[in-house]
Amino acid sequence: MSSRTFADKQPQRQASSGFEFLKGVGQVTGGTLLSITMLASSIVAGGLVGLAISFRNLPDVRQLRNFFPSETTYIYDVKGKLLTSIHGEANREVVPLDRISPNLKRAVLASEDSHFYDHHGINPTGVGRAIVVNSIAGGVKEGGSTITMQLVKNLFLSQKRAFTRKLAEAVLAIRLEQILGKDQILEMYLNQVYWGHNNYGVQTAARSYFNKSAESLTLGESAMMAGLIQAPEEFSPFASMKLAKQKQKEVLGRMLELNWITQKEYDDASKQEIKLGKIRSFQGSALPYVTNTVAQELAKKFGRDALLKGGMRVQTTVDAEFQEMAEETVGKWHQTLRGNGLSKNQIALVAIDPRTHFVKALVGGVDPKVSEFNRATQAQRQPGSSFKPFVYYTAFATGKYGPDSTVVDAPVQYRDGNGWYYPRNYDGSFGGAMSIRTALSQSRNIPVIKLGKSVGMNRVIETCRTLGIMSPMEPVTSLPLGAIGVTPLEMASAYATFANYGWQSPPTVIVRVTDSTGNVLLDNTPKPQLVLDPWASAAIINVMQSVITSGTGKNAAIDRPAAGKTGTTSSEKDIWFVGTVPQLTTAVWVGRDDNRQLASGATGGVMVAPIWRDFMQKALKGVPVENFKSPSQFPRPKSQ
C-alpha cells in the first residue's frame, strides 16, 4: 500500500486555516494570536534544518528498518485452545496494517493526527499552536505531536515533558519519514502504542477490551479505543464507562467534523451497546503444570529473552480436556488416600504416547493453585522396584537370559565400600529357584541384585542413560533396587521406549513453534531412533504383563493387555506404578514433599496401581484394544 492509498480512501477533509483549526479545538482566538501562531510556525519550520545538525547525538532511526517490537508468546493445546500467554513488561501481539479495522485507523488519525498523510513528520500548525498555548500557560500543557513524533518518543526518548525533548522528537520524526513510508509508520505506531492494563498494540487491546480481533472493531469500539491513548487507565471502560463514553463522543465528533463519517454513523456509533471483554494481561495459565514445562523447554531452547519478547506461537502435545481429566483423577485420589491414612500426600502423573514420545498429560501435584512446584519434572524421587525392569532388560540384551531363565532367591551378602551388605526381600522370605518372570512379577529383590552383578552394574547404568535417566548413579550393589533419584517424566519416557520396542524420540510437550508471522522455529515431528534391542524390549514388556496378570500389580488390571511395574522404597517414602499399553504409557508417583514416610505398609501395588487403573480406563475410552508384539517376532540377540 503506497503512502497515499489510505489517505485517498478517506472522505475529503474540510480545508481550514490555522485560525479555523484553533477555533475548532476551542483555543483562544484573535488577530494577535493568529499572527503569533503563524510566526511561531514559521520559526519552527525554518529552524528544524539547523536543529537537525545540532542533534547529532540522537538515536539512529535507520535501525527501525529492522525493528521487531517485543511480542507476547502464546501457548496453545494440541487442538489450538489458548492455554496462556507469556510476556515481559509489554503484552503485545503484532498485526499488519491490513488486519486492523479501517474504523480504528480513522479514529486514531482523527484523534491524534488528522493531517498524518499530508505532513513530513511534523505539523507546523500543531507545533505552533502548542508553543502559543504553553507560552500562555507558563509550562508544557499541550504537545502538538504528530503520530510520527509520538512513535519516536515511545521508541527512543524519555516520557519527561520538556521543550528540548519536543525538539528531539521533531528532528527524529523528520528523519524517520525519510526512510519509512506512511503506512509503515502507522502500522508500527498502532502496534507500539500503550492502550492501558499492560496492553501494548491494537491486537491485545482489542482482545482485552472487546474480546475480538483488531480487524473486527466497530466504529463505536474504535472511537472508544482511540480515546484511550492520551490517558489509558483514566479513560478505560473497565475503570469508568462514563468517562470512556465521553472520550468516545469526542473522537466521533472530530471524525464528523472532518467529514470522515456521516451524522447517521455518528449517531449509530454513539448508541452502540459496548460489550466489554476482560483484562487478560495478568491472567494465570489454564494448565500451569503443562505451560510451565513448555516455558522451561522454550527458555532452554531459545533463551528467556526470546520467551518473554519473541512472540512465539506454541502448539503443545496436550489436549486440554485430557489434561483436565488427569488433574481431576489426581485430585480425587489425593482425597481418597488421605482418607486411607496417607496425610499430606502428593501425586504426580505423566502419560506419554510411546509411538511419538509426545506427552499427553502432565500433572505435577494435587493443586497448582497451592503449589506450582512440578513434581512430574522437578522432583527426583527413588523409584524402588519400578527400576528393576532396566536391570532385566540389560540382562536380556546380552542374549544370555530370557523371561524363563532361572535365578535363585536365596540369602547372599556383598562387601562394598561401606562394609557388608545383606539384601533382603520386602516380606523377609526367600523363594529359592524361580524364573525371571516370577522374580519380577513378585518383585523379589535378591534375584535382581544377583543379575545386576552378573551383567555388570555399569551396563545397567548405560541402559538408563540410553533411556534418558540422567540422575547421578554409582555401580553399587543396591542400584537394582532403585536407590537413585528419578522424575516421573523420566520413568514414563523410559517405559515408553520399551513399549515401542526400542524406538525412541526425545520426550516433549511441544509439537511445533512458529514466530508471529508463521515462520517455523521448532518442529518436533517425531524422528524415532532405535536405541534398544527390539527383542529384549519386547521380552521385558512380556514379563511386565505378568506383573499385572499374576503379580504385585493385579490392582492395575484394565481388561486389555497391559504391562507395568510397582515400586515401593524400603522406607515407604515413595510408591509408584509405571505401566503401559501399546498406545499410552503412564507413570504415577505418590509421596510427601517433606520426604517422610507415607504410612506403614504403603505400597505401589495397593495404593498406586488403582490410581493408574482409574486414569487409564478414562484415557483409553474409545481406544481400540491392541496386543503387544511377541518377542518371537524379533531376532534374539547373540549371547555376549
The secondary structure of the chain in percent helix, strand, coil, rounded to multiples of 5, reads: 45, 15, 40
Neighbours of 197 (CB within 10 A): 21
- What's the domain count of the chain? 3
Chain-centroid distance of CA 442 in Å reads: 43
Asked if the model's pLDDT at residue 136 lies above 70, the reply is no
- Where residue 220 sits, what CATH number does that domain have? 1.10.3810.10
Classify residue 95: in a domain, yes or no. no
Does 112 participate in catalysis according to the annotation? yes
Residue spans of alpha helices (H) in 506-608: 534-550
| Cα end-to-end distance, the chain, whole Å | 72
Classify residue 11: in a domain, yes or no. no
Q: Are residues 178 and 200 in the same domain?
A: no
Measured at the CA of 410, the angle between CA 408 and CA 413, to 5 degrees, comes to: 115
What is residue 21's predicted lDDT score, i.e. its pLDDT? 30
Q: Are residues 392 and 413 in the same domain?
A: yes
- Contacts of residue 472, defined as CB under 8 A and 6 or more positions apart, other chains included, come to 484, 485
Q: Are residues 550 and 608 in the same domain?
A: yes
Contact by Cβ (8 Å): 376, 350: yes
What three-state secondary structure class fits 578? Answer: strand
Classify residue 299: in a domain, yes or no. no
79-83, 284-288, 310-314: least confident range: 284-288
275-289, 502-516, 534-548: least confident range: 275-289
Closest by CA position to 485, among listed 401, 569, 606, 363: 569
Classify residue 68: in a domain, yes or no. no
Classify residue 128: in a domain, yes or no. yes
Q: Which of 162, 185, 208 is the last residue of a domain?
A: 185
What is residue 570's predicted lDDT score, i.e. its pLDDT? 80
Q: Are residues 222 and 351 in the same domain?
A: no
Q: What single-letter amino acid sits at 410?
A: A
Closest by CA position to 131, among listed 18, 228, 49: 18
Classify residue 37: in a domain, yes or no. yes
What is residue 415's predicted lDDT score, i.e. its pLDDT? 80
CA distance 523 to 346: 34
Measured at the CA of 416, the angle between CA 414 and CA 420, to 5 degrees, comes to: 55
Active-site residue (options: 71, 93, 112, 169): 112
258 vs 368, residue with greater confidence: 258
CA distance 227 to 132: 24
Please report which confidence band the pLDDT of residue 369 belongs to, taking 50, 70 and 90 as the band edges: confident
92 vs 157, residue with greater confidence: 92
91-105, 145-159, 539-553, 588-602: least confident range: 145-159
Chain-centroid distance of CA 477 in Å reads: 42
What is residue 62's predicted lDDT score, i.e. its pLDDT? 65
Q: pLDDT tens digits, residue range 457-498?
A: 999 999 999 999 998 899 999 999 998 999 999 999 999 999
Q: Which of 168, 185, 202 is the last residue of a domain?
A: 185
CA distance 83 to 123: 45
- Where residue 477 sits, what CATH number does that domain have? 3.40.710.10
Query: Residue 633 forms beta bridges with which residues?
Result: none
Closest by CA position to 540, among listed 620, 467, 485: 467
Q: Are residues 436 and 542 in the same domain?
A: yes
Q: Are residues 361 and 263 in the same domain?
A: no
CA distance 564 to 567: 10
Grid cell, residue 180, equals 519509512
Q: What are the two backbone dihedrals, phi and then psi, of residue 219, each rounded to the nearest 5 degrees?
A: -65, -45
- What is the DSSP annotation of 172-237? HHHHHHHHS-HHHHHHHHHHHSEEETTEESHHHHHHHHHSS-GGG--HHHHHHHHTTTTSHHHH-T
Instruction: Please report where in the chains the cell 507395568 appears, as a residue.
Output: 564
Q: Are residues 484 and 584 in the same domain?
A: yes
pLDDT (mean) for 57-79: 71
CA distance 295 to 73: 10
Q: Are residues 491 and 374 in the same domain?
A: yes
Please report which confidence band the pLDDT of residue 371 belongs to, taking 50, 70 and 90 as the band edges: confident
Q: pLDDT tens digits, residue range 3-53?
A: 333 433 443 333 333 323 323 333 334 444 555 455 455 555 555 555 444
Query: Residue 568 forms beta bridges with which residues?
Result: 575
CA dihedral defined by 82, 87, 92, 96, rounded to 10 degrees?
Answer: -70
Q: Are residues 385 and 533 in the same domain?
A: yes
DSSP designation for 13: P
Classify residue 531: in a domain, yes or no. yes
Contact by Cβ (8 Å): 574, 381: yes
Classify residue 229: in a domain, yes or no. yes
Grid cell, residue 411, equals 540369602
Please report which confidence band the pLDDT of residue 68 belongs to, taking 50, 70 and 90 as the band edges: low
Q: Are residues 492 and 587 in the same domain?
A: yes
Grid cell, residue 516, equals 508471529
Active-site residue (options: 70, 208, 222, 385): 385
Grid cell, residue 84, equals 496462556
Measured at the CA of 433, the angle between CA 432 and CA 438, to 5 degrees, comes to: 100
Q: Which of 153, 185, 217 is the last residue of a domain?
A: 185
CA 438 vs CA 178, 434, 544, 581: distances in Å: 82, 6, 10, 21
Domain that holds residue 133: 31-60+100-105+115-185
Output the pTM of the full model.
0.70
Measured at the CA of 423, the angle between CA 445 and CA 464, to 5 degrees, comes to: 55
Q: Phi-psi bin for 399: left (phi > 0), alpha (psi -120 to 50), beta?
A: left
- Contacts of residue 63, defined as CB under 8 A and 6 or more positions apart, other chains included, come to none
Query: Residue 414 forms beta bridges with which residues?
Result: 421
Q: Are residues 216 and 356 in the same domain?
A: no
What is residue 134's predicted lDDT score, i.e. its pLDDT? 55
**Which range among 71-85, 201-215, 257-271 has the greatest average pLDDT?**
257-271
Neighbours of 394 (CB within 10 A): 29
CA distance 573 to 483: 12
Q: pLDDT tens digits, residue range 231-265?
A: 887 899 988 899 999 999 999 999 999 999 999 99
Q: Are residues 163 and 220 in the same domain?
A: no
